[in-house]
């Protein structure tokens, strides 16, 4: 009915992603989906269960185990008018098709003076915490962010995942859409009515005045838990979820730090050379620097491959304890 707002309902992060894909495929016949085991099997993480029954094998395409081939096919179809959603089963497999992403998808629109578009989304599971070991557990978002021509999205909630993915599918550039594995079963409120979230807009997940935690992906939930605990001690922590790393919402970062005068940057990726360094540099190069009353702290994974052993894996990856320690050091 016109004028009636549909109620929100609680769904998982995985279901939110599937809804976004299905809605865009129903709305635009040029949108299609391909990847390894995404059709009959329903995806390695169950994200696409049932999609092949609705859209058929010509729009939900099971590919061979050759990322070079099917990512390259996605680039080719995108420049000829299609809008492919390509799933890399694990973000680590980007190494197999790096040339197709970095030298083709990211650069072709520029090389042809804007006459050619590459409206392609590469969805991929990122991060650790599942015991999948070194070659299936990395967080490599900083490698994509370094490449002009790519947009990089890392949603932390079902609501954000759906709205951002719909925007990514409609974008005329190649978008890397990183889904951290431990979020797939997380639930959140998502409207039944259609909506989008613009790429490049951060979101204040919690208002605060004493310190800003700047983060993205599943470390948003960790940071929120730390902020909740410290609130019991009277400490007011702001949690800023970047959501999109490229384009980056610099205004949101600067405004948050100017308000709280302290910053802790948190991500699951290895701290050394990680995206947190770019955020820290952006703060240092802005008017927010002159408002700082303490050093900027960064929290990330240790400089190590991700171990298979669960105890060692938990040691390498950042957790709530490490985030809380960094906050207490400067608050």
Residue whose C-alpha is closest to residue 280's, from 253, 251, 307: 253
3-state SS, residue 125 = strand
Residue 199: DSSP 8-state? T
- Out of 136, 146, 185, 267, pick the active-site residue: 136
CB neighbourhood size of 178 (10 A): 23
- β-strand partners of 182: none
- For the chain, give the number of residues: 331
- Our answer to whether residue 136 is catalytic in this structure is yes
Q: How far is CA 65 from CA 69, 88, 99, in A?
A: 9, 10, 17
Dihedral over Cα of 35, 110, 243, 159: its sign: negative
3-state SS, residue 297 = strand
Residue whose C-alpha is closest to residue 90's, from 50, 37, 32, 157: 37
Cα 272 from Cα 312, distance rounded (Å): 19
Provide the pairing of β-strand 187-191 with 8-12.
antiparallel
Are the beta carbons of 271 and 229 closer than 8 angstroms? Answer: no
Residues catalogued as catalytic: 136
């Amino acid at each position: 009915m016109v004028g009636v707002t549909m109620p929100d309902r609680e769904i998982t992060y995985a279901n939110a992603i599937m809804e976004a894909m299905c809605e865009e495929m129903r709305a635009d016949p040029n949108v299609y989906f391909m990847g390894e085991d995404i059709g009959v099997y329903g995806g390695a993480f169950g994200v696409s269960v049932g999609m092949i029954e609705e859209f058929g094998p010509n729009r939900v395409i099971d590919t061979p185990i050759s990322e070079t081939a099917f990512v390259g096919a996605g680039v080719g179809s995108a420049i000829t008018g299609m809008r492919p959603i390509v799933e890399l089963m694990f973000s680590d497999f980007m190494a197999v098709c790096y040339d197709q992403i970095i030298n083709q998808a990211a650069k072709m629109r520029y090389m042809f003076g804007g006459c050619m578009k590459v409206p392609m989304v590469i969805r991929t599971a990122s991060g650790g915490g599942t015991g999948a070991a070194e070659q299936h557990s990395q967080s490599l978002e900083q490698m994509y962010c370094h490449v002009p021509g790519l947009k990089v999205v890392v949603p932390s909630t079902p609501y954000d995942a759906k709205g951002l993915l719909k925007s990514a599918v409609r974008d005329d550039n190649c978008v890397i859409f990183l889904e951290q594995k431990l979020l797939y079963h997380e639930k959140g409120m998502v409207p039944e009515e259609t909506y989008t979230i613009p790429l490049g807009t951060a979101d204040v997940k919690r208002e605060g005045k004493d310190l800003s935690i700047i983060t993205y992906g599943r470390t948003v939930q960790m940071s929120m838990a730390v902020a909740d605990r410290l609130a019991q001690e009277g400490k007011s922590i702001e949690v800023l979820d970047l959501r999109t790393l490229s384009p980056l919402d610099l205004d949101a970062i600067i405004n948050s730090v100017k308000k709280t005068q302290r910053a802790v940057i948190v991500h699951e990726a290895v701290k050394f050379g990680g995206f947190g360094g770019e955020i820290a540099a952006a703060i240092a190069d802005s008017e927010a620097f002159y408002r700082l009353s303490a050093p900027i702290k960064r929290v990330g994974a240790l400089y190590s491959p991700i171990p298979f052993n669960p105890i060692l894996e938990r040691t390498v990856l950042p957790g709530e304890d490490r985030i809380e320690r960094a906050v207490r050091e400067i608050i």
